[in-house]
Structure 1
Amino acid sequence: MLEEVIQTKLHQELSPQHLDVINESYMHNVAPGSESHFKVIVVSEAFEGLRLIARHRRVNQTLADELANHIHALAIHTYTPTEWREMQKAPDSPMCLGGGK
């Protein structure tokens, strides 16, 4: 299952204090049971001192194979532990407006 692969790789690379991997494929015009659209919420000390683009690059590099071969879309939300304590919630993803749905 792709969701488990994503979880495992992000855990190994970033040692997150909090990690949510959410399959949002149901929100898009894809076959039932698809694993093509994901949202990840990653809270890690590894993000301390990094700008947003550098954080996203770390996630993208970690999931390079999955992004090249399996994932159509990945929403990335990255936080330091301090930032997460203040927010406690990532933004909701919008429903898909394209693809004939």
Structure 2
Amino acid sequence: MSAGFDFMAASAQEKIAHLDARLNAALSPSSVHIEDDSEAHAGHAGATSGSHYTVTIVADSFAGRARVARHRLVYDALADEMRRGVHALAIKAYTPQEFAEIFQ
């Protein structure tokens, strides 16, 4: 994890900014959108141990990779955060071409 950054003590906005920076550094995506879903999970057992996020990420590095391999790249980029504050991560990973075909 980044030296001096305490994920669990950070504000919701700081957490999202930190996750965004980690993904950008690791994958050089053309776009990243991170949604904090934590409030929707309040009350279940894992909710107290960390935060819940949905990440939509568009990157050339996903080209030619299966869905599981794409998710592994994202999990690897956020490995420290997954151990120290991210309880759940929903991933939507696209190449730029796929994203354009689906959403534009």
Structure 1 length normalisation: TM-score? Answer: 0.79
Q: Which residue of 1 aligns with 2:26?
A: 13
Equivalent position to 2:72, from 36, 46, 57: 57
Mapped to 2, the partners of 1:65 and 1:44 lie a distance apart of 21
Matched residue, 2:16: 3
User: Counterpart in 1 of 2:42?
Assistant: 29
Cα RMSD over matched residues? 1.8
Calculate percent identity across the aligned residue pairs: 36
Listed as ranges, the gaps of 5+ residues in structure 1 are 90-101
Compute the TM-score of the two structures, normalised by the length of structure 2.
0.77
Q: Which stretches of structure 1, 4 residues or longer, exceed 3 Å deviation after superposition?
A: none
Structure 2 stretches lacking a partner, 5+ long = 1-13, 44-49
**1:64 Cα shift?**
0.4
**Cα deviation per residue 1:27-73 (whole Å; 9 max; x = unaligned)?**
1115xxxx600010000001011111110000000000100110111
Corresponding residue pairs, total: 86
Other structure's SS at 2:100 match: helix
Report deviation, 1:86.
1.3
2:81 equivalent in structure 1: 66
Q: Distance in 2 between matches of 1:88 and 1:9?
A: 25
Match of 2:53 in 1: 38
